[in-house]
Amino acid sequence: MSTAQRYAKAGSAAWAGLWGNMLLALCKGIMGWLSGSKALLADAFRTAADAAEAAAAVSRQRTERQRSAAKAGTETAALDFKGEMATTILMSVILLIVGLEIGISAIRDLSDGVHESPRWTALIVIGASLIAQQLFLPSRDRMSALCCSLSALIGTGGAIIGRWLSVPELYYMDPAAALAIAAIIMYGGFRMATGSVKGAGGKHAEEENANEMMQLVQRVEGVITVQSLKAKEHGHYVVAEIVISVNPRITVLEGQEIAKRVKQLVMKRFIHVTDVSIFVEPYDPGYPYKSNHDPNQEQMPTLLQ
């Protein structure tokens, strides 16, 4: 799969997440208001946050594609990183404010007393949306989305059962579920804010995957050492940056060919990687040159066959 195809696939997933979550949030909000379910309304705000995150992912993807096409330098990359971090901080603040407002409203309902339960239509909407988002609209934080929807399902369902059994005390389960969802939303905003403050513009790949990728690159003929390897997640796709050392006596064309081989191998082996930027550096001549295949190749004019 080519880089363009990978970007197209990632873009389709991002746009699907954006429009799907927007429609789902709208449906939840309308039905939550009509049915009188506080938990469903709270879950609607959480889904709207997923839609906002999908919109940010679309924006980041467009920026990354422009950088890749233009071969942007360090200054441009730094500006893009600052922009991504500012967007992340803004989203975290919005999540904290929304979660706080939902929590205050739920506490007010609990203190004033709950005298009726939501309508049964809220339960159907929650169940249908739970299935839809788990099968077709995977969230970046899947566990958080699942916990919010299950809380809404349990809270609304408990309140409706309370009406069927004539147990008014169970009516409190609906605003209590909204309070739990508010806590989950605020925790997500706090975690996002602390992550951005630490400079995590994206979520780094798992250590075992990074080590496996480094070992794979190290085995490519012509690569002497892997100076650095960074794999960063941007929304629905992963971008890797690799700095390799090659024999300083080979030509620029040969160095580019080695980099091309590394990129093709990495993208073939790791299908979740959308793009790979390879930076070729000459091996430090202060140390004895060693090939990763044959130590007797030192005097050979080229490493390419």
- Residue 225 three-state SS: strand
Q: Does 189 lie in the same domain as 89?
A: yes
Question: Which 3-state string (H, E, C) describes 86-146?
Answer: HHHHHHHHHHHHHHHHHHHHHHHHHHHCCCCCCCHHHHHHHHHHHHHHHHCCCCCCHHHHH
Token pair 């959480």 is found at 46
| Residue where a domain stops, chosen among 197, 222, 241 | 197
pLDDT of residue 11: 57
Q: Are the C-beta atoms of residues 172 and 75 closer than 8 Å to each other?
A: no
Please check whether residue 241 lies inside any domain of the structure: yes
pLDDT tens digits for 206-265?
Answer: 454 678 888 889 889 999 989 888 877 655 567 888 999 999 889 999 999 999 999 988
Look up the CATH number of the domain holding residue 235.
Answer: 3.30.70.1350
Q: Does 266 lie in the same domain as 179?
A: no
pLDDT of residue 141: 59
Q: Does 143 lie in the same domain as 213?
A: no
- Model confidence at 205: pLDDT above 60: no
- Model confidence at 70: pLDDT above 90: no
Token pair 């159907």 is found at 124
Q: Are the C-beta atoms of residues 153 and 43 closer than 8 Å to each other?
A: no
Confidence of residue 75 (pLDDT cuts 50, 70, 90): very low
- Residue 280 three-state SS: strand
- Model confidence at 115: pLDDT above 90: no
pLDDT of residue 133: 75
- Residue 171 three-state SS: helix
Q: Does 142 lie in the same domain as 207?
A: no
Q: Does 211 lie in the same domain as 140?
A: no
Confidence of residue 200 (pLDDT cuts 50, 70, 90): very low
Residues 6+ apart with CB under 8 A from 283: 224, 225, 245, 246, 247, 248, 289
- Rounded Cα distance between 260 and 6, Å, is 17
pLDDT tens digits for 154-178?
Answer: 999 999 999 899 898 899 999 999 9
Cα 264 to the chain's mean position, in Å? 24
Label the pairing between strands 225-234 and 237-246: antiparallel
pLDDT of residue 305: 47
| Residue where a domain stops, chosen among 151, 174, 197 | 197
pLDDT of residue 214: 86
Residues 6+ apart with CB under 8 A from 163: 116, 117, 170, 171
Total number of domains in the chain = 2
What is the span of the domain harbouring residue 57? 3-197
- Rounded Cα distance between 81 and 58, Å, is 15
Residues 6+ apart with CB under 8 A from 201: 81, 84, 85, 88, 232
Please check whether residue 305 lies inside any domain of the structure: no
| Residue where a domain stops, chosen among 172, 197, 222 | 197
Q: What are phi and psi of 204, to 5 degrees?
A: -70, 150
- Model confidence at 74: pLDDT above 50: no
Q: Does 137 lie in the same domain as 284?
A: no
Q: Does 214 lie in the same domain as 141?
A: no
Q: What are phi and psi of 64, to 5 degrees?
A: -65, -40
Compute CA distances 62 → 46, 67, 86, whole Å.
25, 9, 17
pLDDT tens digits for 32-66?
Answer: 888 888 888 888 888 887 777 777 666 666 666 55
pLDDT tens digits for 135-152?
Answer: 766 555 567 778 888 889
Q: Does 152 lie in the same domain as 89?
A: yes
Q: Are the C-beta atoms of residues 46 and 184 closer than 8 Å to each other?
A: yes
pLDDT of residue 160: 92
Q: Does 241 lie in the same domain as 218?
A: yes
pLDDT of residue 72: 44
- Candidates 241, 269, 255; CA nearest to 67 is 241
Please check whether residue 303 lies inside any domain of the structure: no
Confidence of residue 8 (pLDDT cuts 50, 70, 90): low
* Average pLDDT taken over every residue of the chain: 76
